[in-house]
Amino acid sequence: MLEVRDLNAYYGKSHILQGVNLDVAAGEVVSLLGRNGVGRSTTVKAIMGEVEPTGSIRFKGRDITGLPSYRIARLGLGYVPENRDIFPSLTVAENLRLGQKDPRRQGRWRLTDMLDMFPNLKARVDTPAGVLSGGEKQMLTMCRTLMGDPELIMIDEPTEGLAPLIVKQVGALISEIARRGLAILLVEQKLSIALDISQRVYVMGHGRIVFEGTPADLKANQSVRHEWLEV
C-alpha cells in the first residue's frame, strides 16, 4: 500500500533523511522506532508532503512524491501529527466533524464511535477543545483523523508526555484501529506499545533504516537495541 524508496529530505543544508526505504502493506501495523532526532518524524512529514522530499513515495500504486498534503489526504492517507493540532475555539464535536471529507458519505468511523470509545471526549462534546488536557487533545486529534476514513494512518508519537492511564487508552484506540483493518505506520518511543501491536518494525539511526524485522527479531537482537534504542 505504501512504498518508500531512497527517501531524502533536508532542513536547510542539513541532510536529515538519507535514503530511507520502507513499506506498509494493506491492513499491516508497522512501527518506526529510534531515538529522538534520528529522522522518524521527518519521514512521516515527508511522506505527507509537509517536508520537501526526493526519492519515490507511492501510495496504492500512485506516485505521491511532492504532492500537497491536502491531495495526499484525499487519496486516503491520514496523518496524526506530534503537536496535537486542534481548533481551540471549536467544540469537540465540531473538531470531529471537520475531519469528515464528505459528510454525505458514511465511512468506517462515526462520531458516536469516537465518543463511545473515549468517555472523556463524550463528557466534553460541547466544550471548546482549547480547554482539554494534553491527553484529551491527543485523543481528539486521532479521532478527527479517523473521521476522514483513511485507509492508512500515520501516527507520530501519540503517547508522548501523557499520563499512564491515558497512554493505556491511546494504546487501546490504536489496537482498535488495527482490528478494523486500517494500515498503521506508528512512530513511537514506548517499545512496549509498538512491539505489542506491530507486525513489523523499522529502527532508524542517523537518518537511515538500520534494522527491519518482526518484534520477535528485535527482541532477540540485543546489539541493535543497545546501539540504536536504549538510552
Going from the N-terminus, what domains does the chain have, and what CATH number goes with each?
2-86+151-228 (3.40.50.300)
CA dist., res. 165 & res. 134, Å (int): 13
Asked if 15 and 207 count as a contact pair (C-beta separation under 8 A), the reply is yes
CA dist., res. 177 & res. 175, Å (int): 5
CA dist., res. 185 & res. 180, Å (int): 15
Q: What is the pLDDT along the chain (231 residues), one digit of tens a residue?
A: 999 999 999 998 899 999 999 999 999 999 999 998 999 999 999 999 999 999 999 999 999 998 999 999 999 999 998 887 889 999 999 999 888 876 666 667 788 887 887 788 889 899 999 999 888 888 889 889 988 889 999 999 888 877 787 788 778 888 888 888 899 999 988 888 888 889 999 999 999 999 999 999 999 999 999 999 986
CA dist., res. 86 & res. 125, Å (int): 14
For residue 47, give the C-alpha cell.
511522506
Give the pLDDT of residue 102.
67
Give the pLDDT of residue 100.
81
Look at residues 209, 168, 170 and name the one whose alpha carbon lies nearest to residue 38: 209
Residues composing the chain: 231
Question: Which residues neighbour 211 within 8 Å (Cβ) at sequence distance 6 or greater?
Answer: 201, 202, 203, 218, 221, 224, 228
Beta-carbon neighbour count of residue 191 at 10 Å? 17
Give the pLDDT of residue 220.
94
Give the pLDDT of residue 106.
64
CA dist., res. 212 & res. 219, Å (int): 12
Give the pLDDT of residue 105.
64
What is the distance, to the nearest Å, from the Cα of residue 148 to the centroid of all Cα atoms in its chain? 14
What is the distance, to the nearest Å, from the Cα of residue 113 to the centroid of all Cα atoms in its chain? 19
Give the pLDDT of residue 129.
92
Beta-carbon neighbour count of residue 216 at 10 Å? 10
Give the pLDDT of residue 104.
65
Asked if 185 and 27 count as a contact pair (C-beta separation under 8 A), the reply is no
